[in-house]
Amino acid sequence: MVRKACRIGKQLRELGVRNGGVVRIDSTASVEDWAKDPIGNTRTVANTFRQACDVAEDNGERLAAEGKICWSGMHSWRAMVDLLEQVDRPKPLGFQADMAHTLLYTLGYNAPEARILPADFDWKQREVLDAALKKLSDALQPRTIDFHVASE
């Protein structure tokens, strides 16, 4: 599918109807399946993403790993940073921040061990939220190449 999407992107660029953009990718497995072997499964996703990077580069495209809490190995900010570091291909692969899901990273929704906000967080504590978002942004912003506003 990455090969097909990158070919289409390249054709649209050559036709002059697509001057930029990225091809969004995800890991397709559930967080529950990933948790059975986090090290091995992250390694598998990283290898797959490296292959996808080869395809993207062959077509002059970039890939954006979708930052949603439902995808294995991408379900927390720590897991996402680890995955991107293991792929180690910053030119063709970056992070796609999803407005809603990236905020959920701060709550540790599918990864309590990666929670940034305290369990008793009160949304009126603006300074605490700002500090959590800064920590999250400091980790992911250097890799962020796309932004998605969820409509779910």
Count of domains for the chain: 1
Residue 151's pLDDT is what? 63
The pTM score is 0.92
CATH of the domain at 100: 3.20.20.150
Judged against a pLDDT cut of 60, whether residue 149 lies above it is answered with yes
| In the chain, % of residues over pLDDT 70 | 98
Could you list the residue range(s) of the whole structural domain that residue 46 is in? Answer: 2-148
Judged against a pLDDT cut of 60, whether residue 152 lies above it is answered with no
Residue 99's pLDDT is what? 84
Give the confidence band of 67 by pLDDT, cuts at 50, 70, 90. Answer: confident
Dihedral angle computed from the Cα positions of residues 78, 84, 85 and 91, in that order, rounded to the nearest 10 degrees: -150
